[in-house]
Amino acid sequence: MVTTKQSRRKGGEGQLERLAIAFDDERAVANAGLVLASTLAERLGVEAIVDETVDLGGRAGAARPGRKLLTLVGSALIGGDSIDDANVLRCGETERVLCHRVMAPSTLGTFLRCFSFGHVRQLDRALETIIGRAWAAGAGPGRQPLTIDLDSTVVEVAGHGKQGASFGYTKRRGYHPLLATRADTGEVLHARMRKGSASSQRGAERFVRELVARVRRLNAADTLSVRADSGFWSNATIAALERHGVRYSIGVTQQAHVREAIGAIPEAHWQPLADYPPQGVAEIAEGTLRGRRLIVRRTRLVGAQAELFPDWRHHPFVTDRQEPLAEVELDHRRHAQIELAIRDLKEGSGLNHAPSGHFSANAAWLLVSCLAHNLLRWLARLGLELHGPIVAQTIRRRYLTLPGRITRSGRRRTLHLPARWPWRERFGHALAQLRAIPLLA
């Protein structure tokens, strides 16, 4: 005998089985929230900047680089991580919520493959101009001190025939780009693609010089600080920072002379670190390393685990900052938040892999991902008025990938969004805020 509860359950299953499906709505919009990102891109004049800066000559795919770049950026914003994913922007009337014409994936692939090293540098210069306009619109640091985090990451690939892709220190095949992010927002200020076998220090000095010059051109604050791990530790990099008047805190590898400097710190100088988990103990102290201020944090386990690992583990870095020991050490530890920006670049802006077999095409793809990543952060700051680090997946789920439908009445188009959407008020407020930005094109 079937109970009433079982009958309801079976009835529910039958309802879904009787649900017909038809892909025939020409007015549907797959990712209606892209109207926010497109409004911001339009206000910043992204398409015009790219058209004016990137000159691909007479190569196939060279025409109208701005709209092709924006098609790739729009695809990345909604989770696309391959060139073919841009097809989502062509379904229904999704193109109506964009500020540009959507290009076909075959055209986009041709566009990326026609890039050379020089063209990638042109696109990098366009990214700088776009950052400057976003900062002028209110997303910049103003005259506040600016802290920048440096790091590298591995962009994994599956194919063995991709130019420049190889195995590095992680034993994973891919590329090994350098990244510089703004500490308080996570936006990417500079990026440079490198082959997979490149060490962390390869090209670091030039990268730092280009970064500092860019930030100075953007009229950032006079007080500029850089944080990095031991992969960026070299005399050349530190000398470049000192020449440009940039404060720094950079991790150091524990070579013999570093271990000697740590051993020379008197035991009485070590002071406990208060904000450390109870499973261990941590202490900090400072000394000197070849005339520079050396700060060291040492940690070890307590309890039963201490029998397995009884020794202190040291984490040193050098700095030219003059603030109190505990303050500088705490700030240097915050360098780890760059991993959140890298996570969002990969999970939120399409950098989890490189789609092309051409090195320069993948270098351009890196900058596409950086622009998508930055647009999301500027959208959060200028439209949603969120301050501090954000999570790309959260912004995408709440404000970008909601469905919609466009209707026409006379000469007016209306984008209909789901009733009772939990974040509808903030969505409407963000759109109004972005439309209030003066056109900078």
Q: What is the pLDDT of residues 136-152, one digit of tens each?
A: 999 999 888 999 999 99
CA neighbor of 367 nearest in space, from 171, 125, 172 = 125
User: Rounded to whole angstroms, how far apart are CA atoms 354 and 169?
Assistant: 19
Whole-model pTM: value is 0.92
User: Rounded to whole angstroms, how far apart are CA atoms 360 and 370?
Assistant: 15
Instruction: Express each pLDDT in 60-99 by its tens digit.
Output: 888 999 999 999 999 999 999 999 999 999 999 999 999 9
The pLDDT > 90 percentage for the chain reads: 72
> Which pLDDT score is estimated for 219?
85
Instruction: Express each pLDDT in 236-269 by its tens digit.
Output: 999 999 999 999 999 999 999 999 999 999 999 9
User: Rounded to whole angstroms, how far apart are CA atoms 122 and 397?
Assistant: 33
* Average pLDDT in the chain: 90
Give the single-character DSSP code of 337.
G
> Which pLDDT score is estimated for 25?
82
> Which pLDDT score is estimated for 154?
93
> Which pLDDT score is estimated for 300?
85
pLDDT band for position 305 (cuts 50, 70, 90): low
pLDDT band for position 348 (cuts 50, 70, 90): confident
Residue pair 240/166 in contact (Cβ under 8 Å)? The answer is no
DSSP string, 157-219: -S-TTSTT-EE-TTS-EEE--EEEEETTT--EEEEE---TT--TTTTHHHHHHHHHHHHHHTT
Q: Which amino acid is at 380?
A: A
Residues in the chain: 441
Q: 155-156 and 173-175: which strand pairing?
A: antiparallel
User: Rounded to whole angstroms, how far apart are CA atoms 231 and 335?
Assistant: 13
CA neighbor of 78 nearest in space, from 374, 383, 348 = 348
CA dihedral 374, 378, 379, 383 (to 10 degrees): 180
Residue pair 61/113 in contact (Cβ under 8 Å)? The answer is yes
> Which pLDDT score is estimated for 161?
84
CA neighbor of 38 nearest in space, from 121, 105, 95 = 95
Instruction: Express each pLDDT in 368-422 by its tens digit.
Output: 999 999 999 999 999 999 887 788 999 999 999 999 999 988 788 999 999 999 9
At 323 the three-state DSSP class reads: coil
Residue pair 423/372 in contact (Cβ under 8 Å)? The answer is no
Instruction: Express each pLDDT in 146-188 by its tens digit.
Output: 999 999 999 999 878 889 888 888 888 999 999 999 999 999 9
- Estimate to the nearest angstrom the gap between the alpha carbon of 40 and the chain centroid: 18
